[in-house]
Structure 1
């Protein structure tokens, strides 16, 4: 499968919302997600569409930051691949793209978060060489 990873522009946020809604289980309104993504685009964030032969297969984002413990780092975020394309090597090719792209931007490391109940992603990330180094905590203010 020939894949393309194309950057999404801020104006194209509405195109990705259905996939983000599916990923998030419809937790937030489109208005809230649009507002949040609009703010994200003003930070060290980039968003990409995954496609093949004109068909959209998924979406993902990348955060770029410098961490005292990891150096310049790339954090893949909200990775979503449509159900019918899972298990077909899309994730493997996606991460090959991410590693190459991040290295070109001067990143030394990649780190990510995965929901505790997403066992399939845990196996994938461990196979990619990620190590579980801690827990991600969230407190609503």
Structure 2
């Protein structure tokens, strides 16, 4: 196995949809995801991926912004590693690559959301040094 990490070319963004569908349990159709990703790539968004040779096995969206309380910040979003590759330390390697990538771009902080029921992700992020600062609220309009 030869793992490599990179930022996916925006023209290939739809290749991450199958992994995002696994993360979300197919709650959003492929058509809607294609439309949303086509908008996202025009905003302050990039998508980091993991390949095992030529097979796409991991994804992490990156939203870039400046916040008054944390400065130049990046928000990882829809982080997912294929089930067959979990438990191998790949998430830690992926985030190490992401930390180096965003620091090289001049970003100084990272914050993220994770689903309340996803206790495995909570453990991972605590182990990565993240702290809980508040709650994330959502209201559909």
TM-score scaled to structure 2, two decimals?
0.95
Which contiguous aligned blocks of 4+ residues in structure 1 show a shift greater than 4 angstroms? none
Give the match's secondary structure for 2:31: helix
Q: Which runs of 5+ in 1 are unaligned?
A: none
Identify which range, 50-59 or 64-73, moves more after superposition.
Answer: 50-59
Q: CA deviation at 1:60?
A: 1.2
Give the match's secondary structure for 2:20: helix
Residue equivalent to 1:137: 137
1:2 and 1:110 map into 2 onto residues whose CA distance is 28
Q: CA deviation at 1:59?
A: 1.2
Given that 2:14 and 2:37 are in contact with CA atoms closer than 8 Å, whether structure 1 keeps it comes out as no
Q: CA deviation at 1:50?
A: 0.5
2:100 and 2:24 map into 1 onto residues whose CA distance is 28
- Correspondence 1:83-122 to 2 at 5 A: 83-122=83-122
Q: CA deviation at 1:7?
A: 2.1
Q: CA deviation at 1:2?
A: 4.4
TM-score scaled to structure 1, two decimals?
0.95
Cα RMSD over matched residues? 1.2
Residues 97-132 of structure 1 show CA distances to partners (whole Å, capped at 9, x for unaligned) of: 111011111111111100000000000000100000
- Correspondence 1:29-108 to 2 at 5 A: 29-108=29-108
1:90 and 1:84 map into 2 onto residues whose CA distance is 11
2:114 and 2:107 map into 1 onto residues whose CA distance is 20
Residue equivalent to 2:4: 4
Count of aligned residue pairs for this structure pair? 141
Give the match's secondary structure for 2:59: strand
Q: Does 1:25 align with 2:25?
A: yes
